[in-house]
Structure 1
Amino acid sequence: MSTESIALEHPSSIDPNKVKVVPLRHPWRWAAALLVAIAIIMMVRSAISNPEFQWPVVANYIFNPMIMRGLAQTIVITILVMILAVIGGTVAALMMLSPSKLLSVPAAVFVWLFRGTPALVQLMLWYNLSLVVKEFSLWLPGYGTVFSITTNDIMTPFVSAVVALSLHEAGYMAEIVRGGLKSVSQGQSEAAACLGMKPSLSLRRIVLPQAMRMIIPPTGNETINLLKTTSLVSIIAVSDLLYSAQAIYARTFETIPLLIVVTFWYLVVVSVMSIGQYHLERHFSRDERGHEPGLLSAVFGKLFRFRRKEVMA
């Protein structure tokens, strides 16, 4: 009987000093990686060498003041809309979970309406609200009109964009928050009630902290998606990043370089947001992740991970 057979039958008799560790070979994996690398190099080389991309023009406009103002406007709209959407979506989610039909039915209709219609259609409707509502006024019996203001003075392009996108995103956030709250076992709320906690205190101290693990990832994805959706506001003349680029290339006819600049800044902001989302997820999952590596360690660990196979000598 060979030494290897004896070792397999009696694992306790294996001498660790005689075990030879040999890397497991993956020739086809390396071949596929090589083909992908070659394809990427060829595409990058083609893009760099193509004069039609006008890279000097791209470099000239990358920090253009008009582009920077448009980028700031895009970020402001994204932040405002997301704050309002989270508040509105959370309220709608709590209403949907209420046992009262007077609360749950209107909330369900709200989600159905604003989640079911395209964002562009909602933008156009709110921007043209003055066609059906001429003015906003407050009238009190025995006193008369307290104030009156025309709709056009209120529903500016910026306000229309914020209102439309906030309501649209609130429909999605309501489902995200509702799903997160439903993921927490009902026994948690029952145990809190047995300890004498009020429902509001139980929600803040028990349910929400656990639900955040399920809420944060889709909320981060929705925020990133919202950032890109804000490009629709250029339709109603809001001077966001895309609209600023359009205003420039309408004069200079340098369309492709300006669109590359817009793409670059969207990718930069999305990358920063993705890093923030990663750390938020780690924070709310800190009791489960243990000694989970950081972002760079996780990325490079997956890129340069080699499996090993133990072979007995």
Structure 2
Amino acid sequence: MTETVAADRTGRADATRLIQRGAIEWVIAALLALLLMRFLWSLARNENLLPGEVVHHLLHPDVLAGVWLTIRLTALVFAMASAIGLVVIRMERSGNPLLGGIAAAYVWVFGSIPVLVQLLLWSNIALVFPDITFAIPGVHIDAMRLVTPVHAAIAGLALALGAYAARALQDDDRLTASGDILVTTLQATSLVSVLSITDLLGVVQALEERNHLIIPLLTVAAIWYLVMVTAARGAIHLARLARGRGQAHSR
């Protein structure tokens, strides 16, 4: 009897704590919602943002061209980085100590040096190797002409993100890992603007120099990156749903 009363009191105490915690969470949520609404309202009324210029430049031909280049760079680098990652995983699991050591060294080096530094190194590779010979007699390739800013960007991003892919793709859920690699690649492409490449951010920076609409144009870039990243995550989510339905039907 005593144990039953004690258990009943404990149950009521737990329920009371849950109710109190729920009430506190609702109060915090309401405060956060009010702050968010206040922030959005201040943005809408802020004349410095120039919402008309934001809307005008969202579909500007140069901006759309930059978006398209960003998408193409993302697709190419994603494919290359994923392929590199799979090869590195295969080398690590081969059981060969030399291959495993090379794979570990690659992940250590390219996974440690910041991507921006790697892009700058590749763009200036001709200063180290002005002629590329591949150790073949009679072969002399002018590195200055061969390694264009776009080629340097692709090589730098693919090698850097290949190290990331080599770790991410070891996850059992490779579809989710691929989604993470895709989003990371898309975000990393913004770094190529330092090489004067006219991707989305590069175009925005060029337009800023002409019309000095810094905040509106950066807002345009932010909106487009939100759209592209959301679309990429949505596509991965749909692929996961399709895979789940396929597995359910196969059972």
Considering the TM-score relative to the shorter chain, is it more than 0.5?
yes
Alpha-carbon deviations, 1:193-236, whole Å to 9, x = none?
xxxxxxxxxxxxxxxxxx4xx22223212221221111111111
Separation in structure 2 between the aligned mates of residue 246 and residue 289 of structure 1, nearest angstrom? 49
Could you say which structure has the higher helix fraction? 2
* 1:150 matches 2:142: yes
Separation in structure 2 between the aligned mates of residue 168 and residue 216 of structure 1, nearest angstrom? 20
TM-score, normalising length from structure 1? 0.69
1:238 to 193, 197, 216: 197
Alpha-carbon deviations, 1:17-58, whole Å to 9, x = none?
xxxxxxx89544433332222111111110000100001111
Separation in structure 2 between the aligned mates of residue 285 and residue 105 of structure 1, nearest angstrom? 37
Residue 133 of structure 2: SS of its match in structure 1?
Answer: strand
Distance 1:232 1:139, change over 3 A: closer
Alpha-carbon deviations, 1:83-103, whole Å to 9, x = none?
000111100101001111121
* 1:269 matches 2:248: no
Separation in structure 1 between the aligned mates of residue 23 and residue 207 of structure 2, nearest angstrom? 51
After TM superposition, give the deviation of residue 152 of structure 1 in Å: 1.3
After TM superposition, give the deviation of residue 153 of structure 1 in Å: 1.2
Separation in structure 1 between the aligned mates of residue 214 and residue 134 of structure 2, nearest angstrom? 48
Separation in structure 2 between the aligned mates of residue 92 and residue 261 of structure 1, nearest angstrom? 38
* 1:136 matches 2:128: no
Distance 1:276 1:253, change over 3 A: same
List alignment gaps of at least 5 residues for structure 1.
1-7, 9-23, 181-210, 291-313
- Larger RCO (CA within 8 A; separation ≥ 6): 1
Contact 1:129 1:151 survives alignment (8 Å): yes
Alpha-carbon deviations, 1:287-310, whole Å to 9, x = none?
7779xxxxxxxxxxxxxxxxxxxx
- Alignment map for 1:30-179 (pairs within 5 Å): 30-137=26-133, 145=138, 147-177=139-169, 179=170
Contact 1:282 1:289 survives alignment (8 Å): no
Contact 1:133 1:151 survives alignment (8 Å): yes
Supply the AA of the counterpart residue of 1:108. A
- Alignment map for 1:188-203 (pairs within 5 Å): none
2:176 to 217, 223, 226: 217
Distance 1:283 1:49, change over 3 A: same
List alignment gaps of at least 5 residues for structure 2.
1-7, 9-18
Supply the AA of the counterpart residue of 1:40. L
Supply the AA of the counterpart residue of 2:123. Y
Separation in structure 1 between the aligned mates of residue 98 and residue 80 of structure 2, nearest angstrom? 23
Alpha-carbon deviations, 1:231-250, whole Å to 9, x = none?
11111111111110010111
TM-score, normalising length from structure 2? 0.85
Supply the AA of the counterpart residue of 1:46. S
Separation in structure 1 between the aligned mates of residue 109 and residue 244 of structure 2, nearest angstrom? 34
Supply the AA of the counterpart residue of 1:55. P
Separation in structure 2 between the aligned mates of residue 289 and residue 108 of structure 1, nearest angstrom? 38
Separation in structure 2 between the aligned mates of residue 276 and residue 74 of structure 1, nearest angstrom? 17
Distance 1:111 1:138, change over 3 A: closer
Separation in structure 2 between the aligned mates of residue 161 and residue 41 of structure 1, nearest angstrom? 40
Could you say which structure has the higher strand fraction? 1
Supply the AA of the counterpart residue of 2:226. L
After TM superposition, give the deviation of residue 286 of structure 1 in Å: 4.2
Give the alignment's Cα RMSD to 1 decimal: 2.3
Alpha-carbon deviations, 1:245-264, whole Å to 9, x = none?
01011111110000000000
Separation in structure 1 between the aligned mates of residue 101 and residue 145 of structure 2, nearest angstrom? 33
Aligned to 2:212: 253
Contact 1:126 1:160 survives alignment (8 Å): yes
Aligned to 1:279: 238
Contact 2:168 2:181 survives alignment (8 Å): no
Report the structure number with the largest CA radius of gyration.
1
